[in-house]
Amino acid sequence: MAVKKINSTAQKTTAIFCWGIALGVAVVGASMLLILGGIGWASIVSAVVLIGISAAAAEWGTRHHRTLLKLAVAQEMVNAKAKFEIELENAGVGGLEEVCTEVVPIWSRQVETTRNQTETAIMDLANRFVGINAKLEASVRASQSAAGNLAGNAEGGALAVMTQSESSLTSVIDTIRDAQHSRNDMLEQVRSLNDYTGELRAMAVKVAEIAAQTNLLALNAAIEAARAGEAGRGFAVVADEVRKLSSLSSETGKKMSGTVDIISNAITSVFKIAESTSEHDSKSVASSELIIQQVLQSFNNVTSHLSDSAELLQQESAGIRDELSDVLVSLQFQDRVSQILVHVRNNMEKLHQHLQQYKKDRAASVPIKHIDIKSWLAEMETLYATQEQVHNHRGGQSSVAAKQEITFF
């Protein structure tokens, strides 16, 4: 465009210059003819002819010079284009242009594909870790509820149950002891009944002795009545009745003595059985108390171990929960990587647009608009969202920011 403008200006300038010289020479020549030859038809015709010849010569000179100028301008354009292409090739843009035009879009798509796949995988992994963390917390809560807060004495806890069981079993042992004491009291009463049977036996012996004495007395009375004859007959009847009563009393005493012996033997047998049972019960109570104490001690040991295990489980679960939280924090790198890849992709697309515009301008033979690298870099830095991007942009090595909480950008 600039060369064409220069060509047009040069042509106009040349035409004016040629016409000016020719007309000037013609005017001067015509003036000299008129002065020297006088004013006449011959002089006027000669002057007009001279001016016409000068105009024709000016026109021919103008056209000839215009042709030469066009050839020179065309040659200059060819030389300038060749020089420009040589400069572009020397600058390494020739092959790089085609490579960048074709490869940059592929790079951009590859970066976008990588970003999408990485983001999908990391989000799925993060969701899985969140689910594991929730299940772990639910399991810990369930174990704490089942153990009844073993570390303390909350209602329903194993320690509280053990204390209640120990109290209940102690109460049962006390009840058994009270029953044993009542049984011992009853045994003492049975022993006292045995003493009463001895007294009854002595009383039966006394009755037998009284019956024997009465029988002897009745026998003596009968003898005396017989001696008295008819006068002692009534007394003999009384003596006979007394003897019968004595015999009956003797038999009753014997029966009483036999019954007392039976009762005494029964009481003695019952006493021995009760005494044996009481002794066995005492041993059973002592053995039961010892067994209960051992069971309670074993249960206490198990509860203590269970409490320690529950506390350890809580500590380990808390540690695992913290580890999962740290893992979730670490998984935030995907957000940072995604932002960095998006910025890289955008810069690739921007470079691709510049290369396409460069091809269009080159094909149209228009002036190439060079990229302002300083403005490009400054714009890149204003779009960064992470400290790592700024650090890398300024020539430092990338670093990983350590955070202890989940903070997405």
Type of residue at 99: V
Helix (H, G, I), strand (E, B) or coil at 264: helix
Residue showing tokens 């350890």: 312
Instruction: Report, as an integer, the average pLDDT of 371-389.
Output: 79
154-197: per-residue pLDDT in tens?
A: 555 566 666 777 777 777 777 777 777 777 777 777 777 767 77
Q: Are 284 and 177 in contact (CB under 8 A)?
A: no
Which stretches within 148-232 are classed as H helix? 158-228
Position 68 scores a pLDDT of 63
Number of Cβ within 10 Å of residue 112's Cβ equals 16
> Residue 147: in which H helix or E strand, if any?
helix 93-147
Position 378 scores a pLDDT of 83
Length of the chain: 409
DSSP string, 39-75: SSHHHHHHHHHHHHHHHHHHHHHHHHHHHHHHHHHHH
Among 94, 83, 60, residue whose Cα is nearest residue 3: 83
Measure the CA–CA gap between 47 and 128, rounded to whole angstroms: 109
Position 153 scores a pLDDT of 53
Measure the CA–CA gap between 317 and 330, rounded to whole angstroms: 19
Contacts of residue 34, defined as CB under 8 A and 6 or more positions apart, other chains included, come to 43, 44, 47
49-85: per-residue pLDDT in tens?
A: 555 665 566 556 566 556 665 676 667 666 666 665 6
Among 210, 195, 194, 196, residue whose Cα is nearest residue 254: 210
